[in-house]
Amino acid sequence: MGLKKNPNLMSKKVYIKTFGCQMNEYDSNRIYESVSKIGYKKTEICEEANCYILNTCHIRDKAKEKVYHEIGRVKKNFKLKEKPIVIVAGCVAQAENNEMVKREPYIDIVIGPQSYHKINELIFKYKKKKEKKEETDFDVISKFEYFDKIKNNNSKVSSFLTIQEGCDKFCKFCVVPYTRGPEYSRSFFKIIKEAKQLVQNGSKEITLLGQNVNAYQYEEKNKIFRLSDIIMKLEDITELKRIRYTTSHPLDMTEDLINCYKESKKLVSFVHLPIQSGSNKILKLMNRNHTVEYYFSVYEKLKKINPKIEFSSDFIIAYPGETEKDFEYTMQLIKKINFIHSYSFIFSPRPGTTASNLDLIDTNIAKERLKLIQNELFRNQSLKNKTKENKYVNVLVENRMSNQTKFFGRTEHMTPVIFKGPNEIEGKVVSVFITSSNKNNLFGEIKLNKNIRAA
């Protein structure tokens, strides 16, 4: 008599496709860990999934349409197969909620970023009663309480760790306060515990994440902890080599944090500090609540405390009301600060935000301005990379590249380095001799007479 298969013990597979920021990557990793508790194993092959999760981003462009397009593709791929449970997570899920299931019945579950602790329960309910559900409450406390009980098994050399979520700043262009909810900081001790787990699993670099990561503040055991306290505590973890954080807001660049650039040996000398525009008029229209002069004062304080610090930033081009003069101010700022690399985007009206109804700048003008600004940013980037040629740079080796002969790593300034080297150097900080460069990368080799700095 043949054994009857128990459907609960049969291997189930989950595939997650992730769009958006590093926090979505962190979330996808935590979602994997949650669904693994109910028997789902991770697959990289979409077509073999029993559960398909799309973790979405709503920050720009046709975010919503991109999601429906993606679901359409999944539908086609599974035409001749059993339909997987289809879950839309992330910021589009939060913004669109039950509209999604109405418009695309192929979607079974819609779950916002602050409800991920309910994902297993929703899957169970769906499997039992085919009950379609939408969960978009801002229940961030329960979420972290739930995930604090699940070990973070991420074993990447460079890992993300969310310490803060949400935003109370309400820049007029930005959807984040609506999709991630109000600012919330996690328990200091739970963060340190999670960091230790990551390092035990092999992580050598941790990037602390938050929509306003430097607004982190948590009161525990009669003490107020800030981002600087987390950095200085992580400093004590011997096997951890590098500490980063992103994204910081100029207004929360406090003295204690600035001091970390003197006190900490592991905090990299790199700051991603978005400014958005070089014009005070536009900053005011955006509700950024800081001026260009204030941004400079932060820049100068940081440079004074550690002249090695390099800066990157985010720019929004053609924000409603941006004149040629305003744009010129942004160009001047870029020339003055010499950012090592930066992100620049044409303003994209987001539904529900204050700026969504403003008159747009002519598309051709916007595109032309973006081209000019990117030329300048990339020119800087190339020049900075060029200065590294024929020199040694320290690189944290993240992985062997898919062609198997070269390695991939990053400098402390986040510049990607592709190089030849001996075996078993992943996870180590090595000194790489740079032979050439382009706009995005440095290329080099490990000289055999140069010692590898043991990790």
Name the residues that contact ligand F3S, by CB under 6 A: 20-21, 23-24, 57-59, 90-91, 175-176, 179-180, 211
DSSP string, 29-68: HHHHHHHHTTTEEE-S-GGG-SEEEEEE--SSTTHHHHHH
Q: Do residues 401 and 419 make contact, with C-beta atoms less than 8 angstroms apart?
A: no
Q: Where in 310-329 is the site for ligand SAM (CB under 6 A)?
A: 314, 316
Within 195-214, the residues that bind ligand SAM by CB under 6 A are 211-212
The rounded distance, in Å, linking the Cα atoms of 303 and 320 is: 33
Kindly tell me which residue out of 84, 90, 274, 444 binds ligand SAM, with binding defined by CB under 6 A: 274
334 binds ligand SF4 (CB under 6 A): no
Judge contact between 315 and 330, C-beta under 8 A. Answer: yes
Interacting positions 217-256 with ligand SF4 (CB under 6 A): 249
Which candidate, 403, 405, 343, places its Cα nearest to that of 377? 343
| Least distance in angstroms from the C-beta of 156 to ligand SAM | 22
Asked if 241 and 205 touch (Cβ cutoff 8 Å), the reply is yes
User: Which of 211, 330, 381, 411 contacts ligand SF4 by CB under 6 A?
Assistant: 211
- Report the C-alpha gap between 286 and 281 in whole angstroms: 9
- Check binding of 169 to ligand SF4 (CB under 6 A): yes
Residue with tokens 């720019």: 315
Question: Which partner from the list ligand SAM, ligand F3S, ligand SF4, none does 177 bind, CB cut-off 5 to 8 Å by kind?
Answer: ligand SF4
Asked if 330 interacts with ligand SF4 (CB under 6 A), we say no
At 455, the amino acid letter reads A
Could you say which of ligand SF4, ligand F3S, ligand SAM, none residue 52 binds, taking C-beta under 5 to 8 angstroms by partner kind?
none
Amino acid occupying residue 244: R
Q: Which amino acid is at 72?
A: G
34 binding ligand SAM? (CB under 6 A): no
The CA R_g of the chain, rounded to the nearest whole Å, is 23
User: Using CA atoms, how far apart are residues 131 and 108, in angstroms rounded to an integer?
Assistant: 8
Among ligand SAM, ligand SF4, ligand F3S, none, what does residue 314 contact (CB within 5–8 Å per kind)? Answer: ligand SAM
347 sits near ligand SAM (criterion: CB under 6 A)? yes
- Binding ligand SF4 by CB under 6 A: which of 171, 275, 355, 417? 171
For 400, phi and psi rounded to 5 degrees? -80, 140
Q: Which string of x and - marks every residue 287-316 that binds ligand SF4 (by CB under 6 A)?
A: ------------------------------
Query: Count of CB atoms within 10 A of residue 220's CB?
Result: 11
What is the SS3 assignment for 316? strand
Figure out which of the listed residues 16, 57, 89, 167 binds ligand SF4, where binding follows CB under 6 A.
Answer: 167
Is residue 317 close enough to count as binding ligand SF4 by CB under 6 A?
no
Mask for 120-159, x = binds ligand SF4 (CB under 6 A)? ----------------------------------------
By CB atoms closer than 10 A (0-12, 13-18, 19+), residue 449 is: exposed
| CB nearer to ligand F3S: pick between 350 and 410 | 350
**Binders in 402-441 for ligand SAM, by CB under 6 A:** none
**Among ligand SAM, ligand SF4, ligand F3S, none, what does residue 60 contact (CB within 5–8 Å per kind)?**
ligand SAM
**Per CB under 6 A, does 20 bind ligand SF4?**
no
CB contact set of 390 (below 8 Å; sequence gap of 6+): 433, 434, 435
Q: Which is nearer to ligand SAM, 126 or 315 (CB)?
A: 315
Q: How far apart are CA 65 and CA 409, in angstroms?
A: 35
Tell me how far, at minimum, the Cβ of 401 lies from ligand SAM, in Å.
28
**Minimum CB distance to ligand SAM smaller for 152 or for 212:** 212
Cα angle vertex 262, ends 258, 268, to 5°? 80
Residues 123-182 that bind ligand SAM (CB under 6 A): 173-174, 176
Rounded-to-integer distance, Cα 174 and Cα 177, Å: 7
Contact status, residue 350 vs residue 356, Cβ threshold 8 Å: yes
**Both tokens assigned to 216:** 């982190």
CB nearer to ligand SF4: give 333 or 434. 333
Helices 22-36 and 119-129: angle between axes, nearest 10 degrees: 50
Q: Which residue, 274 or 444, has its beta carbon nearer to ligand F3S?
A: 274
CB of 55 or CB of 437, closer to ligand SAM: 55
Which of the choices ligand SAM, ligand F3S, ligand SF4, none does residue 378 contact, using the CB cut-off of 5 to 8 A by kind? none
CA distance 47 to 15: 9
91 near ligand SAM, rule: CB under 6 A: no
Asked if 70 and 106 touch (Cβ cutoff 8 Å), the reply is no
User: Which residues of this chain interact with ligand SAM, rule CB under 6 A?
Assistant: 21, 59-60, 173-174, 176, 211-212, 247, 249, 274, 276, 314, 316, 345, 347-348, 350
User: Which residues of this chain interact with ligand SF4, rule CB under 6 A?
Assistant: 167, 169-171, 174, 176-177, 211-212, 249
